[in-house]
């Protein structure tokens, strides 16, 4: 529907036709954050597209070189600001690899629960704002209603709605409180019903279908060449998910499926995200059912803060606490690249340690940054209105792109 054969004909007829360059500036209601797009239009058809990024570049990676490892965790959380648990997991996982530290099984399960809730949260915000851009405003309200319930759960376990600094090197900072399990169960019980409601709103909505069907299709091999991962790649038919493909043993205990699309258009991306939310609900339910007893953080006092109850009785605990808080733990020299499946794709963290208490280099391979390279392919040849839809379904997160 968006192949402009008529425009091609007109091109042959009027070769002096000019291209109009417009700037969808960093301040725009429909770019998901401060993304600037320089778009060359011929009439309504996009001929070229150049994204300009960096408007929310915060220098987080440079700032991390100045801070001890546990202080890096709040910085690194604020990169992809919708997937904060994943940022923390990538960093803590990398540092745990460097330290060769085993985390207790309860901590693994708690991490999985929070990460899957965060995945649902990220998809909710992405779908809500995308639907808002397309005009389906009700979806926005519904998605944020559920999002508030997820944030209630995060607030219960860590005290903060967003940017919770819940994951620490060695496990999680605190065990879940009483009442968390009941609240989580009630949320997980209701969530499938809510997802049905979202589907009822959009699945067979004529306008939504006309706007998303066969729009923004990029061939699968081109996506692989461009390094795209996550729901975009899965919508194009490639069943690649790092949770199943290994890398970490956290997800090997759970039984879940990877939703995969066929065509790779906007509609498939929407369906993949909805289905992923259902799978995340299943994973979180399984993790909650099988939550093992035990410590919530590793025992190694050289790396992990001792519990406060020990501070008044044990001198070593006091010394460890002091050293860890003032200087931080030292990591033996080495470098590691640890990647996990974030809600937008492969989130990788490269940590270079030089033996001191501060990392020498922290670099995040952010999925939105790499996925943005596919945006040009998605939009060129289509209409400007499709550009908005493609941007929504690409689900970029400017905090992750700009870091």
Partner 1 sequence: MPDAPGLELIRQQINERNADAVLDTTFEHDQPALIADPGQVLAVLRWLRDEPGQQYRFLSSLHAADYLPAEPRFAVHYELLNMPRVERVRVKALLGDPAAGENGAAAAALPEIDSCVELFPTAEFQEREAYDFFGIVFRGHPDLRRILMPEDYVGWPQRRDFPIGGEPVLFTKDEPDSPGWYE
Partner 2 sequence: MEVERRKIRALSPLDQPRTPEDLRSRQLRARDILRGELEGADLEQYVEERVMTTTLDKVLNVARANSMFPLTFGLACCAIEMMSMVTSRYDIARFGAEAFRASPRQADMIILSGRVSIKMAPVVRRVYDQMLEPKWALAMGACSSSGGMFSNYAVVQGADKFMPVDIHIPGCPPRPEALLHGFTKLQRMIQGNPDPGWRRRYNAIGTEEWARGGPASKPSPEAAEAYRRARELVDA
Rg (CA), the chain: 23
CA-CA distance, 161 to 170, in Å (whole number)? 22
CA-CA distance, 387 to 58, in Å (whole number)? 27
**Contact mark string toward partner 2, 18..47, x via CB under 8 A:** -------xxxxx---xx-------------
**Contact mark string toward partner 2, 132..171, x via CB under 8 A:** --------xx--xx-xx--x---------xxx--------
How many residues sit close enough to partner 1 to count as binding (CB under 8 A)?
40
Q: How far is the CB of 152 from partner 2 (least distance, A)?
A: 10
- Cβ burial of 121 (10 Å; 0-12, 13-18, 19+) is buried
* Between 141 and 322, CB nearer to partner 2: 141
* Between 303 and 372, CB nearer to partner 1: 372
Q: Is 207 helix (H, G, I), strand (E, B) or coil?
A: helix
Which residues fall within 8 angstroms of residue 220, CB to CB, at 6 or more apart? 233, 236, 237, 238, 264
Among 30, 38, 151, 224, indicate the residue that binds partner 1 (CB under 8 A). 224
* Between 65 and 203, CB nearer to partner 2: 65
Report if residue 387 touches partner 2, rule: CB under 8 A: no
* Between 144 and 337, CB nearer to partner 1: 337
Q: Is 341 helix (H, G, I), strand (E, B) or coil?
A: strand
Residues in 243-282 at the binding interface with partner 1, rule: CB under 8 A? 245-247
Among partner 2, partner 1, none, what binds residue 141 when CB lies within 5 to 8 Å by partner kind? partner 2
Q: Report the run of H or E that residue 118 belongs to, with start and end.
A: helix 105-134
Q: How far is the CB of 320 from partner 1 (least distance, A)?
A: 25
Report if residue 227 touches partner 1, rule: CB under 8 A: yes
Q: Count of CB atoms within 10 A of residue 302's CB?
A: 11
Q: Report the run of H or E that residue 24 belongs to, with start and end.
A: strand 20-24
Report if residue 301 touches partner 2, rule: CB under 8 A: no
| Tokens 């597209």 sit on residue | 49
**Contact mark string toward partner 1, 18..57, x via CB under 8 A:** -----------------------------------xx--x
* Between 19 and 245, CB nearer to partner 1: 245
Give yes or no for a contact between 378 and 395, defined as CB atoms under 8 angstroms apart.
no
* Between 115 and 398, CB nearer to partner 2: 398
CA-CA distance, 367 to 339, in Å (whole number)? 11
How many Å separate Cα 199 from the centre of its chain? 22
Among 59, 189, 219, 294, indicate the residue that binds partner 2 (CB under 8 A). 59
CA-CA distance, 146 to 203, in Å (whole number)? 19
Among partner 1, partner 2, none, what binds residue 65 when CB lies within 5 to 8 Å by partner kind? partner 1
CA-CA distance, 79 to 370, in Å (whole number)? 14
Q: Report the run of H or E that residue 361 belongs to, with start and end.
A: strand 359-365
Taking CA atoms, 254 is separated from 190, 243, 281, 286, in Å, by 21, 10, 12, 7
Q: Which stretch binds partner 1 (CB under 8 A): 95-103, 107-115, 116-124, 300-308?
A: 95-103
Q: Which residues bind partner 1 (CB under 8 A)?
A: 53-54, 57, 59, 61-63, 65-66, 97-98, 100, 224-228, 240, 245-247, 334-337, 339, 346, 348, 350, 352, 360-361, 363, 365, 369-370, 372-373, 402-403
Q: Which residues bind partner 2 (CB under 8 A)?
A: 25-29, 33-34, 54-60, 62-63, 74-75, 78, 81-82, 125, 129, 140-141, 144-145, 147-148, 151, 161-163, 398-399, 402
């Amino acid at each position: 529907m968006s192949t402009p054969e008529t425009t091609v004909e007109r091109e042959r007829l009027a070769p002096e036709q000019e291209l109009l360059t417009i700037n969808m500036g960093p301040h725009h209601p429909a770019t998901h954050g401060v993304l600037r797009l320089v778009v060359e239009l011929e009439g309504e058809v996009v001929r070229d597209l150049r994204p300009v990024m960096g408007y929310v570049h915060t220098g987080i990676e440079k700032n991390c070189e100045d801070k001890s490892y546990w202080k890096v965790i709040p910085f690194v959380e604020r990169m992809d600001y919708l997937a904060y648990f994943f940022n923390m997991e990538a960093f803590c996982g990398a540092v745990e690899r460097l330290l060769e530290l085993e985390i207790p099984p309860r901590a693994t399960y708690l991490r999985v629960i929070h990460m899957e809730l965060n995945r649902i949260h990220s998809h909710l915000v992405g779908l809500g704002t995308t639907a808002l851009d397309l005009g389906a405003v009700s979806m926005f309200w519904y998605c944020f209603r559920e999002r508030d319930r997820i944030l209630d759960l995060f607030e219960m376990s860590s005290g903060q709605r967003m940017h919770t600094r819940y994951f620490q090197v060695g496990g999680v900072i605190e065990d879940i409180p009483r009442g968390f399990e009941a609240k989580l169960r009630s949320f997980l019980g209701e969530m499938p019903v809510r997802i049905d409601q979202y589907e009822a709103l959009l699945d067979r909505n004529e306008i939504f279908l006309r706007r998303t069907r066969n729009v923004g299709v990029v061939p699968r091999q081109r996506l692989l060449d461009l390094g795209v991962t996550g729901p975009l790649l899965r919508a194009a038919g490639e069943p690649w998910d790092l949770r199943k493909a290994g890398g970490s043993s956290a997800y090997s205990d759970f039984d879940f499926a990877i939703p995969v699309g066929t065509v790779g258009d906007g509609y498939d991306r929407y369906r993949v995200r909805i289905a992923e939310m259902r799978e995340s609900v299943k994973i979180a339910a399984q993790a909650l059912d099988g939550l093992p007893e035990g410590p919530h953080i590793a025992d190694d006092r050289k790396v992990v803060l001792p519990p406060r109850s020990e501070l008044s009785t044990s001198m070593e605990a006091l010394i460890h606490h002091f050293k860890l808080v003032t200087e931080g733990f030292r990591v033996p020299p080495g470098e590691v690249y640890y990647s996990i499946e974030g809600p937008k794709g492969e989130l990788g963290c490269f940590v270079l340690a030089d033996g001191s208490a501060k990392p020498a280099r922290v670099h995040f391979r952010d999925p939105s940054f790499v996925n943005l390279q596919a945006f040009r392919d998605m939009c060129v040849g289509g209409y400007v209105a499709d550009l908005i839809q493609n941007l929504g379904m690409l689900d970029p997160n400017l905090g992750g792109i700009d870091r």
